Amino acid sequence: MSDYYSINGQLVKAEEAKLHVTDLTLRRGYGAFDYLRIYRGQPLFIDDHLERFQHSADILGLELPMTKLQLKHHVAELIAKNATTEAGLQFFLTGGYSADGFTPTTANLLILQVPLPARSAELFERGCKLISYPYQRDLPEVKSTNYLMAIYLRKAMREAAASDVLYHSGGYALETTRSNLFIVTHEGQLITPASGILKGITRNHLLRLASASIPIEERPIKLAEVYAAREVFISSTIRGTLPVRQLDEQLIADGKPGPVTEQLMAQFREHVEAYLAITEQTMLIHS
């Protein structure tokens, strides 16, 4: 637990951070969400995350009480107050306190600092197992607070000893509960779905990094193509790039992380380092 959370631009002691029970996100699951990672005290790719948070809010018709620039400064203030080096930040824009329990009102903006999950080095070396499940997220292009299916599926995941669940719809693979999907075909093409999904920030950076050296296609992926792929990996803010060695009972190729996956994992790590070096330098100049 961190020391301070932010509620509507005010830093509040974590244990005192409360919302009134009439808030529409509590009662109706109607709210915008985002999540970024703090590395060495820097909010990684914060501009991308705030842009997406704004986009989610716009689609849901919820108004941010600050500009993106004000929000960025406020995040810096929160990180400084908590003296954070490594953590996650969850952003929520809620439906607000609603008298009729259905109509959004003035949104509440929450920012919660959360501990990072333990990282298993072995999982990243061996690759993870996914199970498939027929589902498409509601308003897939919006990062919302609706994780009903994701949390409901925890039991099935645990029983299958899987790391995540791959959603599919109409025969097409989409995304996992909290990550984007990539496959590498036997022809060496990198493919990721273009629609019906949340466009992850890590996904977008990976596509830009990969485009210099690998042929890329953003298009629908048949579930059968995933089982038959040469390589499969997933990407997210928490995981970066995580190889997939198994989908349901089927091993992907020989069940070992492939060279394209490993190349992109390394490139992404370097890319993060370069980003941090630039922001640290900018901070030195401004201090």
Number of residues that bind its own copies (CB under 8 A): 52
Give the HSE-up count for residue 250: Cα atoms under 13 Å, Cβ half-sphere. Answer: 15
| Given 83, 155, 161, 284, the residue binding its own copies (CB under 8 A) | 155
Residue entry with tokens 């999904």: 197
CB of 69 to its own copies, least distance (A): 25
**C-beta separation of 109 from 7 below 8 A:** yes
Report DSSP state, residue 121: H
Regarding 22 and contact with its own copies (CB under 8 A), the answer is: yes
Regarding 283 and contact with its own copies (CB under 8 A), the answer is: no
Of 220, 101, 227, 119, the C-alpha closest to 172 is: 220
- Rounded to whole angstroms, how far apart are CA atoms 252 and 15? 45
Q: List CB contacts of 248: < 8 A, sequence separation 6 or more.
A: 130, 131, 132, 227
Regarding 117 and contact with its own copies (CB under 8 A), the answer is: yes
Regarding 156 and contact with its own copies (CB under 8 A), the answer is: no
**C-beta separation of 143 from 198 below 8 A:** yes
| Given 11, 66, 76, 149, the residue binding its own copies (CB under 8 A) | 149
Of 37, 42, 45, the C-alpha closest to 204 is: 45
| Given 55, 74, 77, 90, the residue binding its own copies (CB under 8 A) | 90
β-sheet bridge partners, residue 192 = 218
| Given 78, 112, 223, 229, the residue binding its own copies (CB under 8 A) | 112
Regarding 158 and contact with its own copies (CB under 8 A), the answer is: no
Q: Closer CB to its own copies, residue 151 or residue 212?
A: 151
Regarding 279 and contact with its own copies (CB under 8 A), the answer is: no
Binding site for its own copies (CB under 8 A): 1, 5, 7, 15, 17-31, 33, 59-61, 90, 92, 94-95, 99-104, 110, 112, 114-115, 117, 135, 138-139, 144-152, 154-155
